[in-house]
Amino acid sequence: MTTREQEFKRRFAAVLLDLQQHGIKDPVAMMLLGSLASDLSRDFKAANWTQAKQAMSSASYNTLLARLQTEGNAHVAAGRDKHSYAIQALAMSLVARTQQADPDMVTGAHLLDTVINSAVTAYRKQPKAG
């Protein structure tokens, strides 16, 4: 495992732990996560986030990762912490799919995707405005 992979694994574990301990208790952050993941899933004609990731080509993966980085940085700069939190979770999940040789990452990615898919389900159950 390279140093870069080790650093990602460390950051991934920290994000997953924070999400489990704090993020899931924040309804605004979870609705933002669910909204974004739902929109992305729809874009890939998938039922949920996990299926959307599986449907992505390499080019789509690279484009989405760059978009998430740009949007996440913009939200951080604007002080929109909950938006950047949701984007970070999606980006970590996206990158984790490239770490399939590491059993810990496979397990962690499954846990993160479960949280994201639950947020999608909760978001879609919300009454539509208008």
Domain ranges (residues) in the chain: 21-121
For each of the chain's 130 residues, which pLDDT tens digit applies?
Answer: 678 889 999 999 999 999 999 999 999 999 999 999 999 999 999 999 999 999 999 999 999 999 999 999 999 999 999 999 999 999 999 999 999 899 999 999 999 999 999 999 999 998 876 5
Count Cα atoms within 13 angstroms, Cβ side, for 7. 3
CB–CB of 94/68 below 8 Å?
yes
Classify 92 as helix, strand or coil.
Answer: helix
Q: Helices marked H in 22-102 — which ranges?
A: 27-43, 49-55, 58-77, 81-96
DSSP 25: G
- Is residue 9 helix, strand or coil? helix
